[in-house]
Amino acid sequence: MQVSGAWRLIARVFIPFAAGYYLSYLFRTINALISNRLISDTGVGTADLGLITSVYFLVFAAAQIPVGILLDRFGPRRVQSVLLLLAAGGAGLFAVSTDFLSLLIARAMIGLGVAAALTAGLKSIVLWFPRERAALLNGYMIMLGSLGAVTATAPVEHLLTWMGWRQLFEILAGATGATAILIYLVVPERSVVPSTASTTLASVFSDRRFWRMAPLSATCVGSAWSLQGLWASPWLTDVEGLDRASLVRRLFIMSIALSCGAWLFGMTVHHIKRRGIGAETILATVAGLFIAAELALILRAPLPSILPWSVVAIVGTATVVSFAVIADYFPPELAGRANGALNVLHFGWAFLAQCATGLILEQWSTNDGHRSVEAYQVAFGLNVALQIVALVWFALPWHRSVASWMSSIPFFMPADVSDAVASVGLYENSVILIPADDDAEW
């Protein structure tokens, strides 16, 4: 690919889809900043707020499989532009909503409208860019998109000093509609091979490796989205007692960490794959760090809380790692549907975690408008327990391989066998014994 042609593709393909994903991330996280205003202006409760915010994830998750099929059939240009128009309508409705039901419907429209934001961008990368650059470009796509989370902190707070949240959503409605038109007019068309979705989806959902890694990815990524997208703000206010300015500053730092995390994951996956190392190792490491960070918050560990909260934010971009694992499991023609299937679980879990957290917090009464630390510890602790179960499930095959290896080394085998073995190796889940005597028969 020539340099001039590459930059032309970046301008006409990569940037427009990155703009759509940017808006998706902004819509996903903005309720954390305006939650107090929503409660005071509309009278919704904590559980209602959790449902209004999390319905975005529910609709988003339900749309992933149909969106994947539409992307394969009609291409990302047409699908993304049409759906973003729906998101623009949802943002406009949100701006004029005055009760729980209208807010819920508007938020659902936004969720459906941006349901293709990431997968359309990933599909465009597959269609237009070299495959060996896909992981790196995926990382850049998510990094640029996550700048929407950065915008949903200090920049939005600045806007809210001279306009209300309703006017803000009117602006977002206009920007989303303009992005839809930009994608339709600027992105070139490319022929797409019709998908045999009924067959390919069955092969994805019947794959044992998928169901080994998907629970871990979903419980970690989905929980990170739930926490940063809504519950970090109440925690920082109720538990840590931050004022408004300190809260916005803390959310801003978290969003910067989020954006940097996407770039870091993209670069890491790109380089380790060139060295022949699987992305599963990174996924397990990220899960372990995420669990440790959440436990540090729950147990009130004596360290600056911005450190574990930054880890929480970074894990929200671990989809870069998860999609790299999927790429190792399935051939290119199945990658799109496999990513969509995994995204169903990501967003489905985010919905459950966000909604359940609100319901659990509602069981504790407020004191001067604040909930007790015990309420948050129970709500967050339930998530951590499920993540630990998912990590153990993910690690079981590795544990069995190590156990097989340990039982096969000379210390654990009969003397007449160990004398004849020079070394032991592992290939996939099989134990390989290398004879000490070249003439030995096995």
CATH code of the domain containing 269: 1.20.1250.20
Residue 193 lies in a domain: no
Question: Looking at the structure, do residues 414 and 361 belong to the same domain, yes or no?
Answer: no
Name residue, tokens 């499930």. Answer: 393
Q: Does the residue 348 lie in any domain?
A: yes
Within this chain, do residues 411 and 399 fall inside the same structural domain, yes or no? no
Does 417 share its domain with 372? no
d(CA 110, CA 271): 36
How far apart are alpha carbons 165 and 438 in whole angstroms? 77
> Amino acid identity, residue 194?
P
Per-residue pLDDT of the chain (442 residues; tens, 9 = 90+): 555 667 888 888 999 999 999 999 899 888 888 888 888 888 888 788 888 888 898 898 899 888 887 887 888 899 999 999 999 999 999 999 988 899 999 999 999 999 999 889 888 887 888 776 777 788 888 889 889 888 988 898 899 888 999 999 999 999 999 999 999 999 988 765 554 444 467 888 888 999 999 999 999 999 999 998 788 989 999 999 999 889 889 988 998 998 888 888 888 887 887 777 778 989 999 999 999 999 999 999 999 999 999 999 999 989 889 988 887 788 766 766 787 889 889 988 988 998 899 899 989 988 877 889 999 999 999 999 999 999 999 998 765 554 554 555 554 444 444 444 443 443 344 444 444 444 444 4
Query: What three-state secondary structure class fits 426?
Result: strand
Look up the domain containing 213 and give its range: 3-188+206-404
Residue 199 in domain: no
Could you tell me if 239 and 375 are in contact, meaning their C-beta atoms sit under 8 angstroms apart? no
In a domain, 73, yes or no: yes
The answer to whether position 217 is within a domain reads: yes
Note whether residue 331 is domain-resident: yes
- Two structure tokens written together for 188: 């070139």
Instruction: Please give the backbone phi and psi of residue 188, each rounded to the nearest 5 degrees, phi first.
Output: -70, 155
Tokens of 140: 């850049």
- Whether 200 maps to a domain, the answer reads no
Whether residue 429 is found in the same domain as residue 309 = no
Domain assignment present for 15: yes
